[in-house]
C-alpha cells in the first residue's frame, strides 16, 4: 500500500524538521513526504533544504523523553524535489524522490495547504492513502503502519485517526482519534481529552466519533475522489467536521489506538499553551461554529448564536473587549 504524507508548514521550520526526523524513521518505508510551505516568509524552505543536505541539525531538548523519536540525526543528504504550487498540483515528475518541497506562494490555511499536497498525490497517481499530519508533531516508528493496518481491517472507514498525546505532557491524552460534536451548541469536543495515556477506550471512541482530529488523519485516496478535497471556506478549524459531514452515509470513521502521535498543541495556530488561543485562532474557531451550522444544520443557528454569549461573558470578565466585539460581529458576518 502506497502512502503520501502531507505536512503544512507556516513559520514553523524547527517543528517541521523534528517531525521529519521522526517521520522518516517510520516503518514500513517507501512512502512519499510532501511539505507544503504556506508562504512563511521566515526562510523556512531554505532551512528545510539545509537540513536535507546535512548543513543543519534539529535541536531537540536532551531532557525530553521523546528525544529518541527524532535523534540521533538521520543520514544525510535526504534527496528532495522542489516545486511551486502549479508544478506540484500537476503531479511533479515520475522520478520524484521521497521528499518533496512545495512553495504554495501564499498562506492558504490548513485546508488549502493540505489540498496542494493532496492534488500532488492524486495527479502523480499510485497512492492508496494520504496521511495528513501536523508539522508540530513527532510520531512513533509504527504510527503509520498501525494506521494502514486499521484501514485494511475496516474498508468502510474513509478517515482513520491516531492517539494524540501532548508533546510536553506525553503521558496525557489530547484525543483518542477524534471528537464528538454538539449540534445545538456548535461545539466539538475531543474524546478522552486530559485522560492518562493508555486508557482502554478504543471501542467507545470509535462509536462516539463525529470527526477525526486533523493533526493526524489517514485518508483513503478513493475517499478524496468521491467526497472531494478539504473545504477551504474555514481557513482554520472545522475542516475535519465538514469532511466527515459530507461523507455521511458513504464512509465511516476509524481509529487506530496504537498509532501514537505527540502533538504540540497551539504551535500551528499561535496559541502558547494548551487551552490558550491566539486572537486569530479564537476568531476562526467561533466564526466557523456559525459557518458550519449554517451549512449543515441551519435550523439550529439561533441556538448556536446564543451559545456565543458565554465566551463573550468570559472575555468581558477578563477585560478582553476587542474579542468581545469580535464575537458580537460574528452574529451578523460569519
List the domain boundaries for the chain. 3-263, 279-333
pLDDT computed for residue 271 by the predictor: 43
CA distance 272 to 280: 13
pLDDT of residue 323: 86
* Cβ–Cβ under 8 Å, residues 107 and 44: no
Residue whose C-alpha cell reads 508539522 in the numeric block: 135
pLDDT 10s digits, 192-233? 999 999 878 899 999 999 999 999 999 999 999 999 999 999
Spatial contact of 11 and 40, defined as CB atoms under 8 Å apart: yes
Residue spans of the chain under pLDDT 70: 266-277, 334
pLDDT at 279: 81
Using omega within 30 degrees of 0 as the cis cutoff, is the peptide bond preceding 28 cis?
yes
Q: What is the pLDDT of residue 269?
A: 45
Amino acid 273: pLDDT: 39
Distance separating alpha carbons of residues 118 and 271, to the nearest angstrom = 27
In three-state secondary structure terms, 259 is: strand
Name the grid cell of 201.
477506550
Q: Is residue 77 reached through a cis peptide bond, with omega within 30 degrees of 0 on the bond before it?
A: yes
**Predicted TM-score of the model (pTM):** 0.93
Helix, strand, coil shares of the chain, percent, nearest 5, are 40, 20, 40
Give the pLDDT score at 322: 87
Grid cell, residue 62, equals 536532551
Over residues 2-36, the pLDDT tens digits come to: 999 999 999 999 999 999 999 999 998 899 999 99
326 vs 103: CA distance, rounded Å: 32
Q: What is the pLDDT of residue 239?
A: 97
Q: Are strands 99-103 and 32-37 parallel, antiparallel or unpaired?
A: parallel
Q: What counts of helices (H) and strands (E) characterise the chain?
A: 12, 13
The span from the CA of 76 to the CA of 129, in Å, is: 27
- Residues 4, 120: contact at Cβ < 8 Å? yes
Calculate helix-pair angle for 321-333, 279-296, nearest 10 degrees: 20
Q: Confirm if 133 and 215 have CB atoms less than 8 A apart.
A: yes
Q: Do 161 and 178 form a contact (C-beta atoms < 8 A)?
A: yes
Helix 239-247 × helix 279-296 angle, to 10°: 20
Question: Mean pLDDT in the chain?
Answer: 94
Q: Which CATH class for the 3-263 domain?
A: alpha beta
Which burial class, exposed, middle or buried, applies to 136 when counting CB atoms under 10 A from its CB (0-12, 13-18, 19+)?
A: buried
The per-residue pLDDT for 52 is: 98
Beta strands in the chain (DSSP E): 3-9, 32-37, 80-84, 99-103, 129-133, 137-139, 157-166, 173-176, 178-182, 187-190, 211-212, 216-220, 252-263
Amino acid at each position: 500500500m502506497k502512502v503520501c504524507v502531507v505536512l503544512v508548514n507556516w513559520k514553523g521550520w524547527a517543528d517541521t524538521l523534528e517531525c521529519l526526523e521522526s517521520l522518516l524513521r517510520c516503518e514500513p518505508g517507501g512512502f512519499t513526504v510532501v511539505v507544503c510551505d504556506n508562504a512563511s516568509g521566515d526562510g523556512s524552505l531554505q532551512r528545510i533544504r539545509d537540513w536535507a543536505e546535512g548543513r543543519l541539525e534539529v535541536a531537540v531538548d536532551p531532557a525530553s523523553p521523546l528525544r529518541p523519536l527524532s535523534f540521533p540525526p538521520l543520514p544525510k543528504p535526504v534527496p528532495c524535489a522542489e516545486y511551486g504550487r502549479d508544478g506540484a498540483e500537476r503531479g511533479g515528475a515520475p522520478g520524484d524522490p521521497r521528499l518533496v518541497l512545495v512553495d504554495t506562494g501564499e498562506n492558504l490555511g490548513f485546508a488549502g495547504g493540505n489540498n496542494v499536497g493532496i492534488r500532488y498525490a492524486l495527479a502523480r497517481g499510485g497512492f492508496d492513502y494520504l496521511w495528513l499530519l501536523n508539522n508540530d508533531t513527532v510520531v512513533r516508528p509504527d504510527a503509520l503502519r498501525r494506521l494502514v493496518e486499521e484501514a485494511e481491517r475496516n474498508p468502510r472507514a474513509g478517515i482513520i485517526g491516531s492517539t494524540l498525546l501532548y508533546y510536553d505532557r506525553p503521558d496525557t491524552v489530547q484525543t483518542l482519534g477524534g471528537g464528538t460534536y454538539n449540534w445545538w451548541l456548535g461545539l466539538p469536543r475531543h474524546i478522552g481529552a486530559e485522560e492518562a495515556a493508555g486508557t482502554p477506550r478504543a471501542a467507545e471512541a470509535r462509536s462516539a466519533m463525529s470527526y477525526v482530529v486533523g493533526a493526524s488523519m489517514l485518508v483513503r485516496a478513493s475517499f478524496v475522489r468521491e467526497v472531494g478535497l478539504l473545504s477551504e471556506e474555514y481557513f482554520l478549524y472545522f475542516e475535519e467536521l465538514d469532511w466527515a459531514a459530507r461523507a455521511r452515509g458513504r464512509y465511516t470513521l476509524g481509529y487506530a489506538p496504537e498509532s501514537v502521535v505527540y502533538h504540540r498543541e497551539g504551535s500551528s495556530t499561535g496559541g502558547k499553551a494548551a487551552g490558550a488561543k491566539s486572537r486569530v485562532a479564537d476568531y476562526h474557531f467561533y466564526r466557523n461554529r456559525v459557518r458550519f451550522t449554517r451549512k449543515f444544520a441551519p435550523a439550529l443557528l439561533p441556538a448556536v448564536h446564543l451559545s456565543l454569549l458565554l465566551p463573550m461573558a468570559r472575555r468581558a470578565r477578563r477585560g478582553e473587549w476587542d474579542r468581545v466585539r469580535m464575537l458580537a460581529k460574528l452574529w451578523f458576518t460569519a
